Every structure is written in structure tokens, then in C-alpha cells.
């Protein structure tokens, strides 16, 4: 039962592998970005789920509130930072895809490689 | 003021990046970058002097004491890398004035300087910080600005090269985040010094997996064989000044991060005795040296040839680290510095050639030995340094590397290091032969590069020669840093 109780890690690994597989198997540039995003989101789930405790309360500091079990807020902070980093990366990636489309007329990796070898030869 | 130097090192380039992004004029953006890079060099030199005199510097951000707050921790290894970063930025910025103006569209020039300053700020922050998540943030700052810088290259293939670098680099960064998450889960701390104490010395599955994720993630940034696939395209198609900057800095800071994690955070005992990471790293480095050098021999594009050569040289650096001896670590840290000087001067020479000839293909370089004597002489000295000829810095690093290998009885390692030098002779000779022993194509006469491009190139070349003849300063600092890594970790 302990293995089933660790379901958050199973979800993390599953999403991570799905995202990574999409990333390496797809040639379309936008699909690669999608794979990367799913991969990064899996990591966010990993962090957030590690900070949660069953039956925990938000960390409050108030007179009369003593000895509560609170969920760790630090992973949430770390993930906010990581989300921002992920969004910036995705923005740059999409901007590059727009420029690639303007320059090559396609966003399929195979066709871009063919166009490159054709122009080089 | 002087006690805030560590944070100023990062804040000044960040502020300057914001300023240059809103300026319209490329020239004024260049001026701001020049002043900033020289200021960074000044601050990093004074930090190095302070660290060598007084020992490590710890700077607490915002008054929150560690391990709750973020602290900047600068020891001799960090200070060494900081001086390297400042020096490279200070030398490449004057070069970039005319080179970037010619290679980029007018409207993009000030954005280029903004991205360059962001990249510099990220690299400096990575080196100073003593907090692992802060390191990830700065890593991504420098990486995203590097993707942007590469995409500004004149050839349209730069866009796809930048995209592939983005995908691979983000995978690497995400692996690093997973590793950090696992470390946090087991110890509850993000501070490097704290982690070093809290990580259990016996074998623990989560910590082992964290080490694996971190090594692969940093290896992707480092272009460790076989994770180097993004590097040749990215270096070839980026603008010349950007290639020189990234080749001399980005991978070096990634090596610093690897050394920090393996030696300081995880500790030598765990990494190399319990996990036996050297048994994985050493064969990969040897393969990288051979594969990189051999691929370099066949290239028609000289920048791509130098890029593959960089993959081989990174192999040398990590090889030095994985020998796990005082000599080996000294060799690795020394080669980190020396390779930056070598590749910096070689890529700047290629930038001069790109400026005058408009192409970096080997076929278009015929007869340049006569029409561009100073540029080709710089290339030849850089090439000799790559090979490891005495009187150049390359010789010093190769010497320490072979010494470290022989000390441990690793004859195969020593043999591969020397074989790499022989392969380097082949690909450097190809360029020398075309430039000096063939007749020029004869369309228009090619003139020598302008003086503002030659002076930075020769500054790096002379640094090559100076530190090759008198290596006491660099090898002294490197061995001090090596002793610190081995003793403290």
C-alpha cells in the first residue's frame, strides 16, 4: 500500500516521461515546445507535492495559534520562480518559431534540415 | 561600498542591461556595455585580491542569515572564474563595436548589447552564489539571453541552432531543478555549505538519483560528450563576437558549477568513492576528446571546426576534474582559464576574417596569410596553444594533465591527451596550409582587419603567451583552488 500511497511521485514520473518522449520524438517545433512544457510542469508537481502534509494548515502566525502542523510554503515559492523561468523560455522559443517560419516557410524540423542541406550544397 | 562588491557585481550589469534595452542608439549601448564590463573587471580583480589575502568572502543578501536567506560565497575558485568573466567581457566589448555593427541589422544592435549584459550578469551570479536555487535562476538568465544572442546571427540557420540549443538547454536546466528538488527533499536546505553538512555520507537512493540528474543536467550545459550536440551549430551561426564570448565563458562557468556540486556540495567521498562517478566521467571525456578532434578535421567551415575542437577541450577540463588528485584538479581549473584564452583569441581572429572576407569557409581563406598577416598570425599562435606547444598556455595545462594522469598510473588517459594534441595539429595545419601556402582567389584584394578588431584579438593572444611563459600566477591560484576543493569538500 505504501507504493500506492506515493501516487504523487508516480504522476510526476509519468508526466515527465510523456513530456520527454514528445520532446524527442516529434519533429514539429511547436510540438517540441509542448513536450518541454509538459516535462517542466511535471517537475512543478513534484516540488509542490513534496511540500504538502496530510491534514496540514497554511502557515499562519497569529496570537493564540500554537503548535499547528503547517504545509511548507518554500516549494511553492521555488515553483513560482521556476514557472516564470519556464514562461520566459517558452516565450523566447515561440518567438524563434515565428522567425523560423518567416525565414523557412515551415516549422517541421525535417523540412528545415532539408532546406539547409539544399542551400549548403 | 567595498563590502557590497559581491552584489554590485551582479546588479551593475543587470541595470545596464535594462538601460541598453531602452536606448535606441547602438553606439551608446556599446559605450554603456564597455563601461560596465570594465567596471565588472575591476570589481572581480579586487575581489580576487581580497580572497587571496583574507580567505573566502561571504555576503548575506538582505540581512537574512543563511540557511534561511541567500548568501553569496566567493572563494578562490569563484574569484578566479569571476576575473576570467570580467576579462573576457572587457576584451570582447571593444571588438564587438565594429564586428556587431556589420553583422547585425541596425535595429537589433542595442538589443544585442542588452542580451550580452544579461548573459554576463547571469554568469557572474552563477559564480558568486552560495545557494543552489539561486544558481538555477542565474543559469536560466544566462541561458535564455544566450539563446537570444545566438539567434541574432546573420545566417538564417542561426534561428534553428538557437532553437535546438534552447530545447536541449531547457531539458538540462529542468534536470538540474529535479536534482535540487531531491536534495531539498532530503535535507530541507538550499544553501551549498549547509547541504555539504546535511547530506548523509552513506549511500542513499534519493541523493544518488539527485547526483545523477544534476550531473546530466550540468553536462548538457557543459557540452560534455555525448550531450554536446547543440554546440557546433550554435557556435557556427552566432555572430562572431557572441561566439567568442560564449565559447570563452558559458561552458567554463558550467564546469565551475559541476566542480561546485561534485566537490563542495556532495563531497569527494560520496561522489568518487561511493558513487564512482570518475569511472563514468573519464571514459566520456576520453571519447569526447577523440570524437571532437576527429570531427574537427573534416569540417569545411572553420568556425564549426573550432566548435568541435571546443568539445574536445571541454573533455580535457572535465578529465582534469575527474582525476581527483591535486595535480588533476589544478590541471582542470587551469585549462578552464587557458582554454578561454585560446578559444577566445581563435574566435576573435575568425571574427576579423568574417569582417573582411564575409565568410568563414576554409575555401574562402586562401592566401590570407599574406593579405591579413596580423590576423593569421593571431590564429597561428592560438592554434599552437591549442596543440600545446611550449611557451603557450596550452602547454601548461597539457603538462599538468599528463602529469596528473601519470601520477595515477593512467597511461591510457595520458596517451589520449597526447593523441588529442596530434589531432589538433592536423586541423590547425589545414587552416595554416590554406592561408599561407595557397594563392588568393584573386577577385578583390582583401585588406587587413581594422585596428579596433586587431587590438582585442592580440590582447588575448599576448595573454596566451604571457601566461604560457610565466604561469606562476594562474597555476598558483589554480592549485590553491584545487586544494580548497579537495580539502574543504
Nearest residue in B to A12, CA atom: B178
Is residue A61 over pLDDT 80?
no
Q: What is the pLDDT of residue B489?
A: 41
Q: Say which residues have a Cβ less than 8 Å from residue B299's Cβ, sequence separation at least 6.
A: B305, B308, B362, B427
pLDDT of res. A63: 77
Global ipTM: 0.93
How many whole angstroms separate alpha carbon B485 and alpha carbon B479?
Answer: 10
Distance from CA of A87 to the nearest CA of B (A): 11
Q: Do A89 and B184 make contact, defined as CB atoms within 8 angstroms? A: no
> Mean pLDDT throughout B2-9?
84
Q: Are B320 and B329 within 8 A, CB to CB?
A: yes
pLDDT at res. B13? 94
| CA dihedral (A28, A31, A35, A37) positive or negative | positive
CB contact B325 to A (< 8 Å): no
CA nearest to A84 within chain B: B137
Q: Which chain A residue has its CA at the smallest distance from B189's CA?
A: A74
Question: What crossing angle do the helices spanning B302-322 and B326-357 adopt, rounded to 10°?
Answer: 170
Q: Judge: A100–B185 Cβ closer than 8 Å, yes or no.
A: no
Which B positions 15-54 lie with beta carbon below 8 A of chain A? none
Chain A interface includes B173 (CB < 8 A): yes
Reported as a single tens digit per residue, the pLDDT across B65-81 is 877 788 898 999 999 99
- Residue of A24, A53, A85, A91 best to disrupt the B interface, most CBs of B under 10 A: A85
Q: Are A23 and B167 a contacting pair at CB < 8 A?
A: yes
The terminus-to-terminus CA distance of chain A in angstroms comes to 61
Residue B147 contacts A where some CB pair is shorter than 8 Å = yes
A37 inside 8 A of chain B by CB: no
Of B163, B171, B181, the CB nearest to A100: B163
B362 lies within 8 A of chain A by CB: no
Res A2: pLDDT = 73
- How would residue A115 be classed by pLDDT, with cut points 50, 70 and 90? confident
Number of cross-chain residue pairs from A and B with Cβ atoms under 8 Å apart? 70
Residues in chain B closer than 8 A to A39 (CB atoms): 171, 174
- The per-residue pLDDT for range B99-129, each reduced to its tens digit, is 888 888 888 898 999 999 999 999 999 999 9
Band (pLDDT 50/70/90 cuts) for residue A119 is confident
Whether A97 sits inside 8 A of B151 (CB atoms) is no
Question: Which pLDDT band, with edges at 50, 70 and 90, does A68 fall under?
Answer: confident
In this structure, how many other beta carbons lie within 10 angstroms of the beta carbon of residue B155? Answer: 15
**Tens digits of per-residue pLDDT, A18-35?**
999 999 898 899 999 999
> What value does the mean pLDDT take over residues B278-290?
91
Q: Which residues of chain B are within 8 Å of residue A50 when distances are taken between CB atoms?
A: 181, 184-185
Q: Measured between CB atoms, does B167 come within 8 Å of chain A?
A: yes
pTM above 0.95, yes or no: no
Q: How far is A46 from chain B (nearest CA, A)?
A: 8
Q: pLDDT band for B485, please (50, 70, 90 cuts).
A: confident
Chain-chain contact of A89 with B144 (C-beta, under 8 angstroms): yes
For an interface test with B, which of A21, A46, A82, A94 has the most B Cβ atoms less than 10 Å from its Cβ? A82
Is the pLDDT at B442 greater than 70? The verdict is no
Tell me if B227 sits within 8 A of B311, measured CB to CB. no
Query: What mean pLDDT is predicted for residues B342-353?
Result: 93
* Inter-CA distances, B160 with A100, B220, B236, B246, B344, Å: 7, 18, 12, 17, 24
Local structure of B60: helix, strand or coil = strand
Name the residue of chain A whose CA is nearest to B173's CA: A40
pLDDT of residue B1: 63
* Confidence band of A73 (pLDDT split at 50, 70, 90): confident
Nearest to A43, CA basis, from B138, B131, B181 = B181
How far apart are alpha carbons B418 and B389 in whole angstroms? 12
Query: Between A40, A46, A97, which is nearest B181 by CB?
Result: A46
pLDDT at B57: 86
CA distance between the termini of chain B: 32
Q: Region B332-339: what's the mean pLDDT?
A: 92
Look at residue B488 and tell me whether its pLDDT is greater than 70. Answer: no
Q: Show Cβ contacts of residue B399 under 8 Å, excluding neighbours closer than 6 positions.
A: none
The pLDDT assigned to A1 comes to: 63
When scoring B144, B163, B233 by the number of chain A Cβ atoms within 10 A, the one with the most, hence best to mutate, is B163
- How, if at all, do strands B57-60 and B71-74 pair? antiparallel
- pLDDT attached to residue B15: 94
Query: Residue B431 pLDDT > 70, yes or no?
Result: yes
Mean pLDDT for the stretch of residues B200-226? 89
Report the mean per-residue pLDDT for chain B. Answer: 90
Classify residue A80 as exposed, middle or buried by CB count within 10 Å of its CB (0-12, 13-18, 19+). exposed
- Exposure string of B94-124, with b = 16+ CB inside 10 Å and e = fewer, is bbbbbbbeebbeeeebbbbbbbbbbbbbbbb
Residues forming beta bridges with residue B301, ordered by sequence position: B361
B23: closest CA of chain A, how far (Å): 21
Find the residue in B nearest to A105 (Cα).
B156
pLDDT tens per residue across span B179-202: 999 999 888 888 888 888 888 777
Q: Is the pLDDT of residue A43 over 90?
A: yes
Amino acid at each position: 500500500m505504501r507504493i500506492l500511497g506515493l501516487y504523487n511521485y508516480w504522476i510526476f514520473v509519468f508526466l515527465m516521461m510523456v513530456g520527454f518522449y514528445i520532446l524527442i520524438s516529434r519533429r514539429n517545433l511547436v510540438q517540441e515546445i509542448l513536450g518541454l512544457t509538459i516535462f517542466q510542469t511535471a517537475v512543478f508537481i513534484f516540488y509542490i507535492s513534496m511540500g504538502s502534509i496530510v491534514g496540514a494548515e497554511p502557515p499562519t502566525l497569529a496570537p493564540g495559534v500554537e503548535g499547528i502542523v503547517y504545509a511548507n510554503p518554500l516549494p511553492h515559492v521555488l515553483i513560482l520562480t521556476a514557472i516564470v523561468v519556464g514562461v520566459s523560455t517558452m516565450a523566447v522559443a515561440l518567438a524563434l518559431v515565428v522567425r523560423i517560419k518567416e525565414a523557412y516557410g515551415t516549422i517541421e524540423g525535417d523540412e528545415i534540415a532539408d532546406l539547409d542541406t539544399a542551400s549548403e550544397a | 561600498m567595498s563590502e557590497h562588491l559581491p552584489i554590485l557585481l551582479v546588479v551593475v550589469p543587470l541595470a545596464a542591461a535594462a538601460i541598453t534595452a531602452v536606448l535606441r542608439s547602438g553606439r551608446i549601448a556599446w559605450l554603456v556595455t564597455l563601461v560596465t564590463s570594465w567596471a565588472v573587471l575591476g570589481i572581480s580583480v579586487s575581489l580576487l585580491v581580497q580572497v587571496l589575502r583574507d580567505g573566502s568572502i561571504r555576503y548575506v543578501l538582505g540581512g537574512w542569515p543563511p540557511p534561511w536567506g541567500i548568501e553569496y560565497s566567493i572563494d578562490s575558485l569563484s574569484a578566479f572564474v569571476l576575473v576570467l568573466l570580467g576579462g573576457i567581457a572587457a576584451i570582447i566589448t571593444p571588438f564587438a563595436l565594429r564586428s556587431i555593427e556589420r553583422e547585425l541589422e541596425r535595429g537589433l544592435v542595442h538589443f544585442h548589447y542588452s542580451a550580452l549584459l544579461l548573459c554576463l550578469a547571469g554568469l557572474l551570479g552563477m559564480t558568486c552564489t552560495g545557494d543552489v536555487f539561486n544558481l538555477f535562476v542565474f543559469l536560466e538568465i544566462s541561458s535564455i539571453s544566450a539563446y537570444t544572442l545566438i539567434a541574432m546571427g546573420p545566417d538564417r540557420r542561426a534561428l534553428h541552432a538557437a532553437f535546438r540549443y534552447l530545447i536541449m538547454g531547457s531539458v538540462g536546466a529542468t534536470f538540474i531543478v529535479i536534482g535540487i528538488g531531491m536534495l531539498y527533499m532530503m535535507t530541507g536546505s538550499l544553501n551549498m555549505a549547509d547541504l555539504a553538512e546535511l547530506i548523509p555520507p552513506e549511500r542513499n537512493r534519493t541523493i544518488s538519483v539527485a547526483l545523477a540528474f544534476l550531473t546530466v543536467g550540468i553536462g548538457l550545459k557543459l557540452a560534455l560528450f555525448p550531450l554536446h550536440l547543440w554546440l557546433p551549430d550554435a557556435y557556427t551561426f552566432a555572430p562572431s563576437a557572441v561566439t567568442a564570448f560564449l565559447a570563452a565563458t558559458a561552458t567554463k562557468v558550467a564546469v565551475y558549477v559541476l566542480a561546485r556540486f561534485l566537490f563542495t556540495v556532495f563531497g569527494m567521498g560520496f561522489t568518487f568513492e561511493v558513487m564512482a562517478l570518475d569511472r563514468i566521467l573519464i571514459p566520456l571525456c576520453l571519447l569526447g576528446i577523440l570524437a571532437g578532434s576527429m570531427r574537427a578535421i573534416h569540417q569545411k567551415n572553420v568556425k564549426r571546426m573550432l566548435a568541435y575542437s571546443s568539445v574536445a577541450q571541454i573533455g580535457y577540463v572535465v578529465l582534469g576534474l575527474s582525476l581527483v588528485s591535486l595535480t588533476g584538479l589544478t590541471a582542470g581549473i587551469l585549462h578552464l582559464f587557458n582554454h578561454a584564452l585560446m578559444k577566445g583569441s581563435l574566435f576573435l581572429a575568425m571574427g576579423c576574417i568574417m569582417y573582411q572576407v564575409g565568410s568563414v569557409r576554409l575555401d574562402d581563406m586562401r592566401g590570407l596569410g599574406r593579405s591579413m598577416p596580423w590576423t593569421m598570425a593571431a590564429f597561428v599562435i592560438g592554434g599552437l596553444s591549442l596543440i600545446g606547444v611550449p611557451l603557450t598556455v596550452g602547454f601548461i595545462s597539457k603538462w599538468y594533465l599528463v602529469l596528473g594522469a601519470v601520477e595515477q598510473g593512467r597511461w591510457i588517459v595520458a596517451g589520449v591527451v597526447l593523441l588529442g594534441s596530434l589531432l589538433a595539429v592536423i586541423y590547425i595545419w589545414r587552416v595554416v596550409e590554406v592561408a599561407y601556402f595557397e594563392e588568393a582567389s584573386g577577385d578583390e584584394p582583401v585588406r587587413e582587419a581594422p585596428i579596433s578588431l586587431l587590438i582585442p584579438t592580440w590582447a588575448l593572444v599576448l595573454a596566451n603567451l604571457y601566461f604560457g611563459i610565466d604561469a606562476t600566477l594562474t597555476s598558483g591560484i589554480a592549485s590553491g583552488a584545487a586544494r580548497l576543493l579537495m580539502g574543504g569538500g
